[in-house]
Amino acid sequence: MAKVHNEKHRLDRVGWLRAAVLGANDGIVSTASLVVGVAAAATSQETILLTAFAGLVAGAMSMAAGEYVSVSSQADSEKAERAKEAWELEHQPKAERLELISIYKNRGLTADLAEKVADQLTAHDALGTHLRDELGLTKHFSARPLQAAAASALAFAAGAILPVILAALFSGQMLIWIVSGAALLLLAALGAVGAMLGGAPMVRPVVRVTFWGAAAMAATAAIGSIFGAVVA
């Protein structure tokens, strides 16, 4: 008896992985940039720490709200498409059958085989078949607003917590260099983990995320230095 070949795919992770990676990246970059910018303006350690913590809370809530609204809109669209397809299957079954046959013929099946496949899949799960093959809607890519919002908020907080802790432990120029270095290391690790979980090569995601993180911190440091010099 032939041994069953079990393949491990990662498409079921797409929804929460996207939200988590985006949230953690934003948490690291935005909070570290806030700390670096405010510290470059030569403000007090208490002000820097308060700014960092406020940025963590506001950012996590903003990420959760934005992700929930965005994914909810996607879920509403999917729901409307399901309802429309269900109506068409009930009221226009012949047209839907021909549409499905045409899809399979365009994918390379002969006319006879396309008819057999369409009829058998329709008998098994008509709505699911049309949603998948006609509209491209599958369980792997279905919208999950609460899951995406929670993953995004928690990931943002996880990414932002280190700059907050460092702001409580260090001050002055040392704080700027330590936060910058730690943030870049975290961003590189995040890019590597995201690529690994998604089954993609690591180099490009790591370079991409660290480059933009460094650019953001450099910009805020420059603005903070200018502001501090003007105030002084």
Q: Is the pLDDT of residue 10 over 60?
A: no
Give the tens place of pLDDT for each residue, 16-31: 566 677 788 889 999 9
Quickly state the pLDDT bin for 139 (edges 50, 70, 90): low
Q: What percent of the chain has pLDDT over 70?
A: 85
What pLDDT sits at residue 23?
A: 80
Give the tens place of pLDDT for each residue, 52-96: 999 999 999 998 898 888 888 877 777 777 788 778 777 888 888
Quickly state the pLDDT bin for 8 (edges 50, 70, 90): low
What pLDDT sits at residue 19?
A: 66
Q: How far is CA 24 from CA 54, 119, 153, 193, in A?
A: 16, 46, 8, 11
Q: Is the pLDDT of residue 229 over 70?
A: no
